[in-house]
Homo-oligomer: A and B are copies of this chain.
Amino acid sequence: MGTMARKKSAKKELILKTAAAMFREKGFAASSMRDLAEKIGIEAASLYNHIQSKAQILEEIIDGVSDECQLHLDNLEKSKSTALEKIESLIRFHTKMMMNRFEEYSVMVSQWMHLDGDKLLRFATNRRDYVRRMEAIVESGIQKGELKSLMPYVVVLNILSSVRGLEFWQRSAKTHTAQEMEDNMVVHLIGGIKR
């Protein structure tokens, strides 16, 4: 945020948004720049006035979501909440991210392996680090007797994977609200670790 932030043109935002929807649906490799251009209503060559490469589009989509996740965890670690409260906050945060920024979040969790070179390495490192920091929260909860003695890695993997699974939730089938989904996620995943 802030006016100092590098401002993206409306057209570039449109390209990123459209590409995210496409990458999520068909996968990065199966998405062509020609199809992307067509959906936006310009020629493929014209895309390159706004972006440098197909790879860069993927990077920007993923970095946007990834940075937000990092920021949330940074703040959470500074808070004085209990481990249980922190884990609930993580479940609710990721669930909301998945629902509010559906395309971008889905692309991050399902297309990151198509990043190339140093970007791939950096993402993998960040991801591993993020998981370890979540594990540390679980570990401290076990130590304090708030949580059952479970392998922190499994708990973290189950939480992040469950959120990811929401990709397949048909929000169009209006049988349940997003809030109901989120609350049920919390009851199931927190219920399984609370002592």
Chain A positions within 8 Å of B, measured between CB atoms, are 25-30, 110, 113-114, 148, 150-151, 153-155, 157-158, 160-162, 164-166, 168-169, 176, 180-181, 184-185, 187-193
Contacts and interface: CB of A to CB of B under 8 A. Distances in A.
A165 B160 CA distance: 8
A114 B169 CA distance: 19
B148 A157 contact: no
Chain A contact surface mostly: helix
A19 to B, nearest CB: 15
Given A27-B114, A114-B27, A150-B184, A165 B176 contact: no
Tell which of A154, A158, A165 has the most Cβ of chain B within 10 Å.
A154
Contacts of A150: 184, 187-188
A165 B169 contact: no
A153 B31 CA distance: 31
Given A157-B169, A161-B164, A166-B157, A148 B187 contact: yes
Top 7 A-B pairs, shortest CB-CB distance: A161-B165, A192-B192, A191-B192, A29-B30, A29-B29, A154-B184, A188-B192
B187 A189 contact: no
Nearest to A161: B165
A12 to B, nearest CB: 25
Contact of A151 (B30, B154, B180, B193): B180
12 contacts: A27-B113, A29-B29, A148-B191, A151-B180, A155-B184, A157-B166, A157-B169, A158-B165, A164-B165, A188-B192, A188-B193, A192-B193
A187 B192 contact: yes
A168 B143 CA distance: 26
